[in-house]
Amino acid sequence: MNTASASHRYHGFAIALHWVLALGLVGLFFMGHYMADLPFSPQRLKLYNWHKWAGVTILGLSAIRLTWRLVHRPPALPQAVTLGMPSWQMQAYHATHIAMYALFFAVPLLGWAYSSAAGFPIVLFGVLPLPDFVAASKPLAEMIKPWHALSANGLAALVVLHVAAAVKHQMVDRDGLMDRMRPGRP
């Protein structure tokens, strides 16, 4: 095992969380846009509830992920990468990650608040009633609703930027940055 390359990689747990949440977030994003346009039907009701359960799960996993991230320092960027990055890229790199982490929490919390305000408390997996942290109120629900969508679209835009940057490192710079997050053995 090459210790030098291993130390440049994220921890296996962080890699697993990254990819699980990546799939979850992308799936929920399209699900949310799809279900919002459905007519009143059992199908719509089902998708809404699944969306909420998955959203709360993502919120929980994001909390674990943030805790892990704060406790375990991620590997430093390889020198080959940092040398090739102008300072604006370095700033954009940090800002994008901070904003994505903020939205990992903001998007599901806004969805939860919307559900509570709309008078539909979340019952996780149909069995565990979650507390309402805002009161049931039609005007409040109408006020929150666009923010859940806007924040989700904002997160989607950052994800596109994040993927584009990763692809650029892989295909243009060919600096092997993506190996740090690649699942599987180093």
Residues that bind another protein (CB under 8 A): 40-42, 45-46, 49, 118-123, 126-127, 129, 138
Residue 119: CB atoms within 10 A of its CB come to: 12
Residues in the chain: 186
Amino acid at 72: H
As measured in angstroms, the least distance from the Cβ of 123 to another protein is 4
Nearer to another protein, 95 or 123 (CB): 123
As measured in angstroms, the least distance from the Cβ of 51 to another protein is 12
As measured in angstroms, the least distance from the Cβ of 159 to another protein is 29
As measured in angstroms, the least distance from the Cβ of 49 to another protein is 5
Nearer to another protein, 49 or 57 (CB): 49
The DSSP call for residue 73 is: P
CA distance 74 to 76: 6
Q: Dihedral through CA 35, CA 38, CA 41, CA 45, nearest 10?
A: 20
Tokens 């008078």 correspond to 119
As measured in angstroms, the least distance from the Cβ of 146 to another protein is 17
Nearer to another protein, 39 or 86 (CB): 39
Print burial letters for 35-70: b (CB count within 10 Å at least 16), e (below 16): beeeeeeeeeeebbbebbbbbbbbbeebeebeeebe
Nearer to another protein, 107 or 117 (CB): 117
How far, in Å, are 16, 78, 154 from residue 81 at the CA level? 23, 5, 27
Nearer to another protein, 86 or 126 (CB): 126
